[in-house]
């Protein structure tokens, strides 16, 4: 299976997403790039929440915040929280119970892009 096959298998755009279909792969690629460059740890505190610990840099913070804001504008069911405390930066994504499959796919993309732990 090629990287392209994996990317297609891990598509996570919800039916409720208002981002034009042609732009969805571009947004997914932006998340993949953030995940590949910055994810240090992935946690799932519960079914509806995903916590991504990111490499703490001002550029990563700005990139994560901007991407989360744009994603929330088309998929308003997401709640994103970016926190920085004690030198640790985390991006949390939370969804309603009926959107857990979208969060599952986002977690799978993060794992695939971040590589082996």
Domains defined for the chain, CATH in brackets: 24-114 (3.30.1360.40)
Of the candidates 65, 60, 73, 63, which has an alpha carbon nearest to the alpha carbon of residue 23? Answer: 73
List CB contacts of 112: < 8 A, sequence separation 6 or more: 6, 10, 32
pLDDT value of position 37: 94
pLDDT tens digits, one per residue of 10-42: 455 555 655 546 666 787 888 899 999 999 999
């Amino acid at each position: 299976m090629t990287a392209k096959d994996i990317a297609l298998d891990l598509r996570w755009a919800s039916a409720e997403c208002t981002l034009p279909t042609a732009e969805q792969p571009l947004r997914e690629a932006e998340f993949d790039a953030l995940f590949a460059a910055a994810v240090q740890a992935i946690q799932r505190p519960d079914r509806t929440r995903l916590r991504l610990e990111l490499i703490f840099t001002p550029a990563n913070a700005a990139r994560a915040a901007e991407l989360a804001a744009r994603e929330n504008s088309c998929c308003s069911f997401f709640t994103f929280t970016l926190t920085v405390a004690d030198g640790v930066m985390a991006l949390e994504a939370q969804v309603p119970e009926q959107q857990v499959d979208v969060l599952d796919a986002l977690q799978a993309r993060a794992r695939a892009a971040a590589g082996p732990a």
